[in-house]
Chain A
Amino acid sequence: MELTGLFFYLVSLLILGGIYALLCLALNIQWGMGGLFNAGIAGFYGVGAYSSAILTTAASSKHLGGFSLPVPIGLLGAAVIAGLAGWAVARICVRLKSDYLAMASIGIAEILRLVIVNEDWLTNGSLGLSRIPRPFGDLATGRMSDVVFLGFVWVVVLLVYLASSRLYDSPWGRSLRAIRDNETSAAAAGKNVEKFRIQTFVIGCAVMGIAGGLSAHYFRFLSPTATDPLLVTFLVWVMLMAGGSGNNRGAILGALSIWTLWSVTEIFTNRLPPEWATRSSFIRMLLVGLLLQVVLQKFRAGLLPEKSPPVKFRKEETGSGG
């Protein structure tokens, strides 16, 4: 019994860890590769979660829906709609400098949250959406469906990881890093800075949307509390800084280690006397805040620092020189 309990604890830990890994990979594309300070992760995550939920749930009089589409289509929809939201935001804000972009993106995330809370016809307001289906729902039932879902989440993580590693190594990623490190010289070299930034922002937001969609299918229930900036935006920033921004593997490692730290402390704090147990989430929040300070001061590069791939030349070009 003890062992099966532990097993399913591990499963839920890894499912949420996988969702955070996606958010971290997405932020790594925007911040790690492109240097875009997106502080509105929760907003795009929320857009994705609601999009996928609305597309896949059965008809209900309480909210927009009734499309009953398969989950993968829902997730695709989440990526497209969150990406479109990201495009609209990027068109307006992407030229802003880092501090200003942070303010603007928090503002946009908060506006998206206000829309989610207030537009009852669309999202059922604070009551939320329920009976959101899971992918391969008929393959397994009960707790075993968690295991199936775990596999599904990590397949998505793997696909996104492979895609973003490819992006990082590609000429596109190289130009992006050039812009991040020295915008003026990249522009002088003929790179269209704004176009690159919009693309980066959109790709990142689409991945954040997928992460949001996955969380909606995991919990099967969605309400505005899911888009709490503390758990979505802040925690993801800490994860990426701790894991190593600019490094995709670092992003996944950071997500998993910080998420494990966050969850495991819950086990200990639950054993505290009741008057302290209710405050345990504040202690954890305090520790996360302090951990970020330690990371920023002592190991700024993170667990896995960024390693730019060496520039490879084709044989013919290097061959003649020696």
Chain B
Amino acid sequence: MIEFINFYLFPALTIGSIYALGAVGISMIFGILRFAHFAHGDLMTLGTYGILAAAAVMPVNPLLLIPFGMALTIVSALFVDRYFYQPLRSLPTIYTVISSFGIALVFRSVIQLVWGSENQVFSSGVKPPLVLFDTIRVSVLHLQAIVATAVIAVLLHFFLTMTRTGRSMRAVADDPELAEVSGLDTAKVVRWTWIIGAALAAVAGAFAALNTSAHPNLGWNLLLPMFAAAILGGIGKPMGAMAGGFIIGLAEELSSYHWIGDEALISPSYKTAVAFICMIALLIFRPQGLFKGRLL
């Protein structure tokens, strides 16, 4: 049991937090701008490398440098939206999807040009795990990721329910036409969608890189599970995306636990396939997600 908690549950919750943070952005962009943003994973990688660059200059705990990563992702997202996505806004959204395909390439190649394509680690050496109640051993990083995600979820909830901007974002996600005729500032809503999505992508990227290492394909490898999480939570529902992230993370990690007998239920090399299969099954059987999102 303790083995299950230490080696499966905590890592699963950590990967779930990473998916959750990324999926919020995907879900909001899909809900408000109404297209699947295929460059979101690479935006995440960009944030990671922004933090890495800052860490090279300032040798402090990389978590303190997350604002630098956020700044980089926010500026990049707003720039890309202004110059590449906005001109395609009046066309069928599929053109923006194709464009985001290309932007994913651009982000990745810029990362490789500037930082090279080798794996990079934030800090070397093994950190001793935190021991709780004598039996539960949990890595500090995992705990940080889970707690940070919980805090962000609470803040995001308050932003979306209490502030004017947050409320207009929800209105646009629920019914864009109605929001438009009632005179909401759509441009502002779009801007805030990118700011929040990009900022959370940077946080997710930081935890993903700290969990393993930073490499140019980091975000691309996380993209499909994040889509799965966004769909599971219902498109346009940030809190649903959070929950979806944890569910997909748990499904993925716990599928290789030896539930029956001694063998792993599913070979760990097919772990990522579990998330993809969840996503495909969702798309077919429940595209509106668990929390009654919009069907686009």
> A residues touching B (Cβ–Cβ < 8 Å)?
37, 39, 92-93, 96-100, 102-104, 106-108, 110-111, 114, 117-118, 230, 234, 237-238, 241, 279, 282-283, 285-286, 288-290, 292-293, 296-297, 300
Contacts and interface: CB of A to CB of B under 8 A. Distances in A.
Contact of A111 (B88, B104, B277): B277
Nearest to A114: B273
Contact of B113 (A103, A104, A118, A279): A279
Interface residues of B, number: 42
A104 B279 contact: yes
Contact of B112 (A102, A237, A241, A282): A282
Dominant SS at the B interface? helix
| Interface core residue of A92, A279, A289, A290 (most chain B CB under 10 Å) | A289
Nearest to B295: A97
Nearest to B111: A282
Contact of B99 (A114, A230, A283, A292): A292
Contacts, number: 115
Contacts of B94: 37, 98-99
A114 B269 contact: yes
Interface of B: 30, 35-36, 38, 84, 87-88, 91, 93-95, 97-99, 101-106, 108-110, 112-113, 116-117, 224, 227, 267, 269-270, 272-273, 276-277, 279-280, 283-284, 287, 296
Given A93-B283, A99-B296, A111 B276 contact: yes
A286 B105 contact: yes
B253 to A, nearest CB: 16
Given A97-B296, A286-B109, A108 B269 contact: no
A285 B91 CA distance: 26
Contacts of B284: 92-93, 96
B224 A103 contact: yes
Given A230-B105, A234-B105, A285-B105, A102 B36 contact: yes
Contacts of A98: 94, 97
Contacts of A104: 279-280, 283
A237 B101 contact: yes
A106 B102 CA distance: 15
A100 B228 CA distance: 11
A165 B182 CA distance: 50
Contact of A286 (B87, B101, B106): B106
A103 B36 contact: yes
Contacts of B277: 107, 111
Nearest to A234: B105
A290 B91 CA distance: 19
A102 B97 contact: yes
A118 to B, nearest CB: 5
A39 B99 CA distance: 13
B88 A290 contact: no
Leading 7 A-B pairs by shortest Cβ distance: A292-B102, A289-B105, A289-B106, A107-B276, A286-B109, A285-B109, A99-B36
